[in-house]
Amino acid sequence: METKIIEFIGVIFIVLFVLGTHELGHLITGLIQGFRFELFVVGPLGIKRESNKIKVYFNKNITYYGGVAASLPLDDSPENIKKFANLILAGPLTSLILAIVFLSFAHFSDSSIEKLLVLAGASSFGIFLATTIPSKTGYFFTDRKRYQRLMSNSKERKVEIALLRIIGVYSRDNSYKNVNIDDINLVIQDSHYEYFGLSMKLTYEHETQGKFNIKTKLVFDKLTPKMPKSLVKIVLKELDKLEN
């Protein structure tokens, strides 16, 4: 019984480790390129920037248990597009490299830890596949798809760049007041980001006008039932903060 419990704990630890390493790939690449640290979460561990201080906290948001990392540019330099593309690619590449390392060690190791090494290698390779083969995981695009959108010569590229500008301004000001409304409207025109864009527009309107625009709210409310419940819960919580 004790052996099974230890093995179970070992499996949980390995899964969290490979998830965290994937996100660290994104994060470290951003930091190396001059981006500012904002958030790192894997499982119950959360680290975030709050009031220009780094805070460690217990993550209760189950939607973040699979891992999330954020580092954002400090300015609107055109170079940020290339840097952001590098950041996106870094996660899957880190997972692939980690998989090769673990499986190589497993090949030369003794039987006592071979199982765990194979599990770690297989899990990391699974994350690589999950972030490169499908186009979306739930509501969000995978790393591969976002990279393709950013590197394309289509409207999708403009949307991704607009998102990058919006996130950069919000990170700097902790507010949407100085965001270009044309960027938000461009995001809304993309069916994949429409709901997210509408939530940003509502926030922008409340911060600049003191209230939500009725037309924007009606479109937002009409779309809400079609969205994943976990996403809706997060978005509505942020909007409720504005009203209260």
Residue 149 exposure: Cα atoms within 13 Å on the Cβ side: 23
215, pLDDT greater than 90: yes
The pLDDT, as a whole number, for residue 73 is: 83
Q: How far is CA 199 from CA 13, 78, 142, 221, in A?
A: 36, 26, 21, 10
Reduce the DSSP state of residue 190 to 3 states and report it: coil
Closest to 23 in 3D by CA, of 92, 99, 118: 92
Q: Where are the domains of the chain?
A: 2-145, 153-243
Which tokens go with 217?
Answer: 């709210």
Round the average pLDDT of the chain to a whole number and report it. Answer: 89
pLDDT in tens, 119-146: 999 999 999 999 999 998 877 899 999 9
Q: In the structure, what pLDDT confidence band is assigned to residue 63 with cuts at 50, 70 and 90?
A: low
Q: In angstroms, rounded to a whole number, what is the distance separating the alpha carbons of residues 45 and 41?
A: 6
Residue 204 exposure: Cα atoms within 13 Å on the Cβ side: 20
Question: What pairing do the DSSP bridges indicate for beta strands 140-141 and 53-58?
Answer: unpaired
The pLDDT, as a whole number, for residue 76 is: 74
Torsions phi, psi of 33, nearest 5?
-85, 5
Reduce the DSSP state of residue 43 to 3 states and report it: coil
Q: In angstroms, rounded to a whole number, what is the distance separating the alpha carbons of residues 103 and 100?
A: 5
3, pLDDT greater than 80: no
Which helix H or strand E contains 54, and what residues bound it?
strand 53-58
With pLDDT > 70 as the criterion, what percentage of the chain qualifies? Answer: 97
Q: How far is CA 173 from CA 52, 164, 192, 235, in A?
A: 11, 14, 26, 19
CB 67 within 8 A of CB 19: yes
- Across the range 77-88, mean pLDDT stands at 89
The residue ranking higher by pLDDT, 138 or 31, is 31
CB 18 within 8 A of CB 25: no
CB 21 within 8 A of CB 93: no
Closest to 144 in 3D by CA, of 130, 132, 157, 155: 132
